[in-house]
Amino acid sequence: MTLGNWYNEHIVPRLIRCACSSPAIMQVRDKVVPLASGDVFEIGCGGGINQQFYDPARVKSYAGMDPSAKGLDFTRAAAAQQGRVADIREGMGEAIPFADASFDCVVCTFTLCSVDDAAQTLRELHRVLRPGGRLLYAEHGKAPDADVIKWQNRIEPVWKRLAGGCHLTRPVGTAISGAADFSLNQLGARYAPKTPRWAGWIEWGEAIKAA
């Protein structure tokens, strides 16, 4: 194993788990994840951070996927702690290993920034949702202010290498509504407090697949 592979497999999951569980991020998760219901699929579930927010009275079944084996270890432990039976698989967002129309709800939190092909991943999320199903999202990305975007463009090349391929300049809402037949309902957007603005723009909401 090369040093780069070792860093990505062992260090990056821990860094992401730490960064993505800051108080500001957890507040947004708490606004989004409890809305999940029915048969639920979570993309980018590595780390298990969202497990504490699911409402057991609303979730019929849970499945999750992440490319990081180490991250999935955290997820399985968190699911077991919640007493949740889960179908958790290793995989990539561009080729989700579940059949068409398998889920009522997809949860995607702070994940689209780091997939290789965001548009293809969104098409896959649309595919595995049943008609009328909901994609619940909370993502950071391209800021609305030109001066912040300037810094995002400057920092992103180095940031991606350190943070597991995380992009700073990907749009959120417009990307979701433009990639597949989703009807977007944005629930909130803001800069995360106590976070550098180039890393802190967050949007959250739901995208509904046509019935």
Inter-helix orientation angle 12-19/69-81, to 10°: 50
Taking the C-alpha atoms of residue 55 and residue 25, their distance in angstroms, rounded to an integer, is 19
pTM here? 0.89
Mean pLDDT of 1-15: 56
How does pLDDT run across 141-170, given as a tens digit for each residue? 999 999 999 999 999 999 988 887 899 999
Beta bridge partners of 188: 204
Half-sphere exposure of 51 (CA within 13 A, CB side): 23
Residue 3's pLDDT band (cuts 50, 70, 90): very low
Residues 206, 185: contact at Cβ < 8 Å?
yes
State the pLDDT at residue 75. Answer: 86
Closest to 166 in 3D by CA, of 207, 199, 126, 129: 199
Classify residue 2 as exposed, middle or buried by CB count within 10 Å of its CB (0-12, 13-18, 19+).
Answer: exposed
Q: Which residues contact 187 (CB under 8 A, 6 or more apart)?
A: 31, 32, 204, 205, 206
102 to 3, 7, 23, 62, 99: CA distances (angstroms): 38, 34, 33, 11, 6
How does pLDDT run across 113-142, given as a tens digit for each residue? 999 999 999 999 999 999 999 999 999 999
How does pLDDT run across 67-90, given as a tens digit for each residue? 888 778 888 888 888 888 889 999
CA dihedral 90, 50, 63, 68 (to 10 degrees): 0
Which of 6-20, 23-37, 39-53, 64-78 is predicted least confidently?
Answer: 6-20
State the pLDDT at residue 124. Answer: 97
> What token pair was written down for 136?
């619940």
Taking the C-alpha atoms of residue 180 and residue 176, their distance in angstroms, rounded to an integer, is 7
* Residue-range domains of the chain with CATH: 3-209 (3.40.50.150)
Residue 18's pLDDT band (cuts 50, 70, 90): low
How many helices (H) does the chain have, and how many strands (E)?
8, 7
